[in-house]
Structure 1
Amino acid sequence: MSTLNLHGIVPPVVTPLTHDYKVDKPSLRRVIKHLLDGGVHGLFLLGSTSEVVFLNAQQRADVMEVAVQEAGGRVPLVAGVIDPTTDRTIAYARQAKEMGVDGLVVTSQFYTRTSQAETIDHFSYIKDAVDLPIVAYDIPVCVQLKLARETVRELYDRKIICALKDSSGDEGNMRMLMRDFAAHPDFAILTGSETLVDYAMLGGAHGNVPGLGNVDPAGYVRLYNAAKAGDWNAARAEQLRLIELFEIVFQGVPHTSPNASGVGGFKTAMYLMGLIENRHMSRPNKVLPDAAVEKIRSILTSTGLL
C-alpha cells in the first residue's frame, strides 16, 4: 500500500509569473496560503493549470521550493513531471524528489505516437528510477492517448501507481473504474472536473483536482464535506454555485484558445482578488481583454468572492 493518502480537494496550483516570465514567488506564497486557509487536502504542483509544459527546470524548481516551504508538511504535495519523453520525465522526477515533494504525477508520453503497452513501460521506467508514489494523469486531450481501464489496472497490480487523476471527460469510463477499484481502498480516483464533483463523489470518487479551486478553495471543500456527509442537497447547491463561478473560464474566447481562456480566467480572478500581481500566461497565450476582465469581476461579485 502506498504511503500517499491522496483524497479530498487537491487543486492544481496556478503558477504566477513576473513581467519577465520568472516565477513570481511572493504571489505564489499568497496563492498557497489562500489554498491552505481554504482547507484543501493536498496540492498538485506543476499540472496543466500550472502551465507546466511552458516551465523549464529552474522554474519548476522555484515552484516546488516555495510550495514545500509554505506547506510545511501540512498537506501532501504531488508534482507533475510531465514531458514528451521518458528520460526527461525521469530527470524531472529526480528533481522533484530532491525538492521534497511526496509524490509524482505522470501522463503518458506524448507528441510521438504511442501505445498502451509503451505507456505501461513509460510508467514502469519512471517508478524504477525514482522511488516515489505515482499518480497517473489521464488527459487525452493533451497527450492524445486515453489510459485504458486495463492499463490502469495493470499499473496498479504492478504497484506502479497509487491513484488516478481522471481529466479524460469520459465520465462513464471513470464510473466503471470506480467500480473496478471499489474493493481497493489503497487506490484513489480523483476527478479533474470542476462541474461534476457531486456526481463523481456519489459514484465513489475520493476527491477532486479543480483548477477553479485556486479561486474558491473553500467552496470546493464545502462541496466535498457535504458529499462525504451524505448531504446531497447541500452538495448540489454548492456545486451549482461553483458552476456559476466556472463561467469565468469562457470569457477569453475567441480572443484566445479555450485552454488559455481557462487558465487566464483563473489568473484574472486571482488578480482581481489580490492574490497575484500579474495575470498574464506563458507566451504565446494571450492575456484576456478588458471586456473579459469586467465580466469576470461581475461573476466574482455575484458568487460572493468580491
Structure 2
Amino acid sequence: MTLPAPLTGVVPPVCTPLTPDREVDVASLTALVDHLVDGGVDGLFVLGSTSEAAYLTDRQRRSVVEAVVSHVGGRLPVLAGAIDMTTPRVLDHVRDVTAAGADAVVVTAPFYARTHPAEIARHYRLVAERSPVPVIAYDLPVAVHTKLPAELVLELAADGVLAGLKDSSGDLAGFRAVVTGVRADPGITGFSVLTGSELVVDAALAMGADGAVPGLANVDPHGYVRLDRLCRAGDWEQARAEQERLCALFGLVGAGDPARMGPGSSALGAFKAALRLRGVIACPATAEPQVPLSPDEVERVGKYLAAAGLL
C-alpha cells in the first residue's frame, strides 16, 4: 500500500517472537500482528530495536518482513528497518525489505566510526536516491552514538529526502524544534514526526507530533490507541490519566536484575514475557547473547500486567 503522508497515530515497533532454538516463530509473529491490528494501531514497524533487528541474520530479517506483509495484506502500512553501519550495507537491506513488500524504510545515521553531519546527510541522500519507497530517519543516539541535528532533519525534509522522523533520542527540546520547524516551513509537506518514547506520548502530541512508535504498545496496543484518540479529541485530562497508567505499566522493563543483565535484556525480555503471559506468543525467548528473565522476574512482569488490568 502507499504510505500515508503524513503517517499518523500509533505505529508499534513489532517484537520478533522466537522459538526456543532462536528461529523466527512465524505463527507467533502473525498472532502478534493480529493482536496489534485488533488493538486499532495505524501501522507496523518491523526490524527496529524492539524487533531485535541487530541480533537477526539477514535471512531472518527478510522472513520477518515477508511474514508481516503477507499477513497484513495491505490493511496497514508496514515500515521496515534498514539498519546497519554503512551506506552500502543499508542499501543491501533496503533492497531486501522492499523486495519483501515494505512500504517504507527506517534508517539510522551510519555508525561504528564517528560521523560528521555532512556524512550523515550524504548517507540519507544516497539511500533516498536508491530506495523505491519513502525513507524515515531513526534518531537513536543510544545505539549509533550520533544525535541527528534538528536543522539537518529539516533540511533533508525540505529537500524531499526524508518522509519522516522516528525520534528515540529522549531530547524533547530537539523534538520540539523539528515539530515547529516542519510547521513553519511551507516547503515541507507530508512529513511525519513520530516519538519513540512510551512515556511522553501525550506531551509529544500536544506539541504537534503526528504519532508514536512505542515498544510497550506490543503489550497494550489498546491503551496507546486510546491515548492517541483522547489527545486528538482534546480530552487532555483523560489522556493524562491513560498516559500515567501506561507509565506505571512501563515499570515492567525493569523486572530483570541489573546485577546480571543489561537494560536491553530486561526490557525486551519483559515485553516478550508479558506477551507470553497474555497468550499472544508461544515463547518468550530473546536473541543471543541476551540474558533471559528468571521465573521470579517473569512473575514480577505479571504483577505489572495485573495492576494495569491486562491479566
**Same fold, TM exceeding 0.5?**
yes
More off after superposition, 217-226 vs 250-259: 250-259
Query: Are 1:17 and 2:18 an aligned pair?
Result: yes
Query: Are 1:302 and 2:290 an aligned pair?
Result: no
Q: 1:273-288 alignment to 2 at 5 Å?
A: 273-288=278-293
- In 1: Cα distance, 2:226 partner to 2:77 partner: 19
CA RMSD of aligned residues (A): 1.3
* 2:181 corresponds to: 180
Query: Are 1:216 and 2:217 an aligned pair?
Result: no
Q: Which amino acid aligns with 1:276?
A: I
Q: Secondary structure at the match of 2:88?
A: helix
Contact kept in structure 1, 2:5 and 2:191, CA below 8 Å: no
Normalised TM-score (structure 1)? 0.97
Contact kept in structure 1, 2:265 and 2:290, CA below 8 Å: yes
Q: 1:98-109 alignment to 2 at 5 Å?
A: 98-109=99-110
* 2:272 corresponds to: 267
Q: 1:81-230 alignment to 2 at 5 Å?
A: 81-183=82-184, 184-230=188-234
* 1:293 corresponds to: 298
Deviations, residues 225-273 of structure 1 (Å, cap 9, x unaligned): 0000000011111101101110110111313111221111101100111
Contact kept in structure 2, 1:120 and 1:155, CA below 8 Å: yes
Identical counterparts, % of pairs: 46
* 1:258 corresponds to: 263
Q: Which amino acid aligns with 1:104?
A: V
* 2:42 corresponds to: 41
After TM superposition, give the deviation of residue 185 of structure 1 in Å.
4.7
Structure 2: stretches of 5+ with no match in the other structure: none
Q: Secondary structure at the match of 1:61?
A: helix
- In 2: Cα distance, 1:151 partner to 1:281 partner: 35
Contact kept in structure 2, 1:4 and 1:102, CA below 8 Å: no
After TM superposition, give the deviation of residue 24 of structure 1 in Å.
0.3
- In 2: Cα distance, 1:182 partner to 1:107 partner: 23
Contact kept in structure 2, 1:4 and 1:103, CA below 8 Å: no
Normalised TM-score (structure 2)? 0.96
Q: Secondary structure at the match of 2:183?
A: coil
Query: Are 1:63 and 2:64 an aligned pair?
Result: yes
- In 1: Cα distance, 2:9 partner to 2:291 partner: 32
* 1:245 corresponds to: 249
* 1:236 corresponds to: 240
After TM superposition, give the deviation of residue 4 of structure 1 in Å.
4.5
